[in-house]
Amino acid sequence: MSVIAPLLAGFLETYPRISLEMMLTDKILDLVNDNIDVAIRIGPMLDSTLSAKKVGRDVFQLVASPLYIKRSPSLQEPGDLKKHDCLVFVPKPAMRSWRLKSGASRTTFEPESKFLSNNVSAVKALVVEGAGVALLPVSNCWEEIKAKRIKVVMPEWSMEDTPIHFVFQKHGFTPPKVLVFISYMEQKMRPLFI
């Protein structure tokens, strides 16, 4: 998530005796076997052997670059997506279909992908370059939206909100550095999510 890195600098300044190692992956890692203190997971919590602290909710929205929007047909409703180059982020097979909602309305769109990847950064890079429209987590596009390199299109349509959790090993003693990290990051991240 592009919102995380700037917060880490503040954490390291506040807690200079703690060092961090960060791994970025779309795969769900095993915290015990991979020796990971804390993970940030987006989506419903499935593993009851872990402790989890909810930070907020993220939303997937349709995004495109201003250049792409300017040269492409109008995007007013989900049916218009048929006329567009779709860049598809598929972290799991169920996300091959775009399940969109607007108020009480629901629709499923099966994009013919111009580009498909399980890596959000790769899809986002193509969006920024004007290659098409994608359904991406707003938390991952925050900087590009703020800098106007990409825009949310059809803002009234989105996927169901997705919970965001800090996940850590469940045992009798949680190391203080883990508790401090979670507390600090939760305080800083909570205002950024719905």
Q: What stretch of H or E contains 41?
A: strand 38-42
91 close to 159: Cβ distance less than 8 angstroms: no
Whether residue 39 is found in the same domain as residue 69: no
> Is 159 among the domain residues?
no
Whether residue 51 is found in the same domain as residue 66: no
Whether residue 50 is found in the same domain as residue 66: no
Task: Check whether 75 has a pLDDT greater than 60.
Answer: yes
143 close to 51: Cβ distance less than 8 angstroms: no
Task: Check whether 1 has a pLDDT greater than 60.
Answer: no
Give the model's confidence band at 15: pLDDT under 50 very low, under 70 low, under 90 confident, else very high: very high
Q: Could you tell me the residue range of the domain that residue 35 belongs to?
A: 4-55+164-192
Q: Which residues of 12-44 are buried (b: 16+ CB within 10 A; e: fewer)?
A: eeeeeeeeeeeeeeeeeeebeeeeeebbebbee
Whether residue 71 is found in the same domain as residue 84: yes
Whether residue 98 is found in the same domain as residue 47: no
> Is 124 among the domain residues?
yes
Question: Domains in the chain: how many in total?
Answer: 2
Could you tell me which of 5, 153, 140, 139 has the C-alpha nearest to residue 65? Answer: 153
The pLDDT value recorded for residue 40 is 86
User: What residues have CB less than 8 Å from 172, skipping those under 6 apart?
Assistant: none
CATH number, domain with residue 102 = 3.40.190.290
The pLDDT value recorded for residue 2 is 60
Task: Check whether 153 has a pLDDT greater than 90.
Answer: yes
Task: Check whether 46 has a pLDDT greater than 80.
Answer: no
Whether residue 133 is found in the same domain as residue 64: yes
CATH number, domain with residue 24 = 3.40.190.10
Whether residue 90 is found in the same domain as residue 70: yes
Residue 172 DSSP class = S
Looking at per-residue pLDDT, the higher value among 164 and 44 belongs to 164
pLDDT digits (tens, 9 = 90+) for 118-146: 888 999 999 999 999 999 998 888 889 99
